[in-house]
Amino acid sequence: MSELLKDNPFAVQSPDDISAGDAHDLFVDVFTDFDKLPLVGHTFIHGPRGSGKSMMFRYMQADCQSIAKGRPVHELPYFAAYVPIKNMQTNFTELKRLEGHAANFVINEHVLSIYIVEKLLDALRTGKIEFDYASTTVEQAQEVFTNSFCKPLAQCRWKGDNHIDKIDSVPSLFRVMHEVALKLVQELNAFLKILSMNQAAVEDYDGPLCGYHDFILPLFRGLRTLPCFPQAPFFLLIDDADNLNVAQTQLLNAWIGTRTHSEVSLKVSTQLRYKTYLTHTGRSIDSPHDFSEIQISTIYTSSHRRYFDRVKAIVEKRLRKAGITTSTEEFFPEDQNQVEEIATIAERIRADWDRGEGRGARSRDDVTRYSRPEFIRSLGGNRKSTSTYSYSGFNQLVSLSSGVVRCFLEPASHMYSEQKATIGTAGTVKCIEPAIQNQKAREFALKFLHADIEKLKRDFVTQGEERLSTLDKLENLLHALGGTFAGLLDSDRAERRVFSIAFSDKLDKEVSETLRLGVEEGYFHESTIGNKEGTGRTKLFVLNRVLAPCFNLDPTSFAGYLFVTNERVKQAMRSPSSYLRDLEKVGHRNFFDSEQLELL
């Protein structure tokens, strides 16, 4: 059994902390879904927290790729350097003092460039990447140090010494270059501390000013000449680029706009909060001319089967690595009593269709569309026990995770821990009982709806953000839509499984900002569909199915969307109680136009 997953096969680790061997064993190849990511070219990959972006970046790094492809590092098709922006130590508050100053972009580019180079050299010096050091001579290492590192630095106003006598091997080359880069970072931070107290200090700055073209590119070109490196492009994996300030974002865009991808391809991940696509000169970078773009949520929300297969493969790898041979469906069984009752309803629906009383083209269409909703409705009838619906079974849990792998693994981790506590530490977990699955799925949903939003509110208050009222509106909208979709599930509509809204008119700023925040925080997935008139496209917002247990919704499939107006959504945002009262008073058929509920 692997030490990594010894205690819990579904434990969520930071990809930074996973060894190359474990990363290779746990990674499921998703590049058929995101084929542009491992190819030469600048690429943005967008997705909410936990959707697998950092794990993809971990797998693309040289130590993993060497294992995956069974090749030495110098034969790889690219060399990837990982740059986690969340870990930048530079104080953005201090850099804000530069806004409006002539030196703003010059110093911010130096900050970003030095950070990237320091992270690359730190990774190289650790020895985790198995280079063929014997293939490279001392003279070749010294030439790179002199011509591709010290000389460009000197041209960037660096006044340090060229300690070429310290370079007697490739490892010493990496070590000495990292020492210089680390010293540059320390000097920069010291300057920024002075800047925080005296903005005039920028006039006295006489340190180096490094950039992409005059420092990063020459260094990467030099490293590529070493026989131990691939004679192939560098990939810069810029993770969580939303955390860059505006100036750094615009500078990164400028790098992308220069189209140096044949030498250095920038792979940029965001959590849907990327600040701008303008450069510092005001030019816009555009897809597909300057970069390609991947939307994880759009791909996996629109293709449940593809996502299901990916999660199944991930779970199987984790179970096997933990020494568990049970299949995914056996490990996460569905509540059998519920299965039998739904099967009985399905037989009744099939018989109705055979008598000519069906709605769909085939009996199985009606069974799929109505059997589970009819069961949930029966729980809310005389039984008054809708909340006893069981969110259990592998298929349901995958549906609940709504295209975000972490939203499967995190509750599954809690389920495993609870099951382990139930049987005792000496016992072996062979499956997760349906009651435990249901309990933890509901707890995860409630946390997402209540505790996570309250945490966001506290964070925004601490940071002095102006988004607090928008969060309140988002919370109201979630409750209003949850109530709406629950009512539809209990209705006689042709399609009751609805999780999405589309707009029949134009969104105003208030509604647009609230929905945008919902997308950024993972409460909605955004897409587009054809408008009602058939003359163009309109925005579609899909509620995250993690929230299904909060409103006793059927998460296993959804085929419908509801056309709504801007004013109706604004009412839901401002007063969900009055919105739901009006909805109950007039009924869904009159509250929304009868033609508004369409089939995908």
d(CA 600, CA 597): 10
Q: Which amino acid is at 98?
A: L
What local confidence, expressed as pLDDT, does residue 90 receive?
57
Residues 6+ apart with CB under 8 A from 151: 218
Expressed in angstroms, the distance from the first to the final Cα of the chain is: 45
d(CA 195, CA 201): 6
Confidence check: pLDDT of 235 > 50? yes
Arithmetic mean of pLDDT, 502-525: 93
% pLDDT > 70, the chain: 93
> How does 468-479 read in b/e, with b if 16+ C-beta sit within 10 Å?
eebbebbbbbbb
* Residue boundaries of the structural domains of the chain: 36-302, 466-600
Q: HSE-up of 179 (CA within 13 Å, CB side)? A: 13
Q: How many CB atoms lie within 10 A of CB 139?
A: 8
DSSP 8-state code for residue 16: G
CA 65 to chain centre: 22
Nearest to 373 by CA among 592, 158, 552, 185: 552
What local confidence, expressed as pLDDT, does residue 311 receive?
94
Arithmetic mean of pLDDT, 275-290: 92
- Asked if residue 81 lies in contact with residue 237, where contact means CB atoms within 8 angstroms, the answer is yes
Average confidence score pLDDT of the chain: 89
Arithmetic mean of pLDDT, 82-103: 77
Structure tokens at 59: 């797998």
d(CA 526, CA 539): 7
Which residues are registered as beta bridge partners of 264? 234
What local confidence, expressed as pLDDT, does residue 465 receive?
53
DSSP 8-state code for residue 544: P
Torsion of CA 49, 15, 403, 554, to 10 degrees: -90
Confidence bin at 598 (pLDDT 50/70/90): very low
pTM summary value: 0.89
Task: Output the CA–CA distances (angstroms, integers) from residue 268 to 40, 239, 241, 292, 598, in the order listed.
Answer: 13, 6, 7, 10, 36
Arithmetic mean of pLDDT, 440-452: 96
Please tell me the least confidently modeled range out of 14-23, 426-435, 583-592.
Answer: 583-592
What local confidence, expressed as pLDDT, does residue 219 receive?
97
Backbone dihedral angles phi then psi of residue 569, each to the nearest 5 degrees = -65, -35
Arithmetic mean of pLDDT, 502-513: 92
What local confidence, expressed as pLDDT, does residue 536 receive?
73
- Asked if residue 595 lies in contact with residue 495, where contact means CB atoms within 8 angstroms, the answer is no
Confidence bin at 600 (pLDDT 50/70/90): very low
Beta-sheet pairing, 537-543 with 498-503: antiparallel
Residues 6+ apart with CB under 8 A from 421: none
Beta strands in 163-309, from DSSP E residues, in sequence order: 234-239, 264-270, 292-295
Give the model confidence (pLDDT) of 329-382 as tens digits.
Answer: 999 999 999 999 999 999 999 999 999 888 888 998 889 888 999 999 888 765
What local confidence, expressed as pLDDT, does residue 467 receive?
60
Nearest to 118 by CA among 82, 160, 76: 82
Confidence bin at 560 (pLDDT 50/70/90): confident
d(CA 179, CA 158): 14
Confidence check: pLDDT of 124 > 70? yes
Confidence bin at 266 (pLDDT 50/70/90): very high
Of residues 73 and 195, more confidence is placed in 73
Q: In what order do the strands lie in the sheet with 264-270?
A: 79-84, 234-239, 264-270, 43-46, 292-295
% pLDDT > 90, the chain: 63
What local confidence, expressed as pLDDT, does residue 199 receive?
67
Nearest to 558 by CA among 547, 569, 568: 547
Give the model confidence (pLDDT) of 158-193 as tens digits.
Answer: 998 888 989 999 999 999 999 999 999 988 888 888
Alpha helices in 448-555 (DSSP H): 452-462, 468-489, 509-520, 548-551
Confidence check: pLDDT of 96 > 80? no
Q: Which amino acid is at 547?
A: L
What local confidence, expressed as pLDDT, does residue 596 receive?
44
Give the model confidence (pLDDT) of 35-78 as tens digits.
Answer: 999 999 999 999 998 899 999 999 999 999 999 999 999 999 99
Backbone dihedral angles phi then psi of residue 266, each to the nearest 5 degrees = -90, 120
- Asked if residue 559 lies in contact with residue 373, where contact means CB atoms within 8 angstroms, the answer is no
Confidence bin at 558 (pLDDT 50/70/90): low
Q: How many CB atoms lie within 10 A of CB 391?
A: 27
What local confidence, expressed as pLDDT, does residue 1 receive?
44
Please tell me the least confidently modeled range out of 86-100, 254-268, 307-321, 481-495.
Answer: 86-100
Dihedral (CA of 506, 511, 513, 516) sign: negative
Confidence check: pLDDT of 466 > 60? no
d(CA 255, CA 220): 14
- Asked if residue 280 lies in contact with residue 250, where contact means CB atoms within 8 angstroms, the answer is yes
Arithmetic mean of pLDDT, 487-496: 84
- Asked if residue 163 lies in contact with residue 176, where contact means CB atoms within 8 angstroms, the answer is yes
- Asked if residue 150 lies in contact with residue 166, where contact means CB atoms within 8 angstroms, the answer is no
Arithmetic mean of pLDDT, 263-268: 96
Dihedral (CA of 284, 286, 292, 298) sign: positive
Q: Which amino acid is at 474?
A: L
Q: How many CB atoms lie within 10 A of CB 214?
A: 15
d(CA 523, CA 404): 11
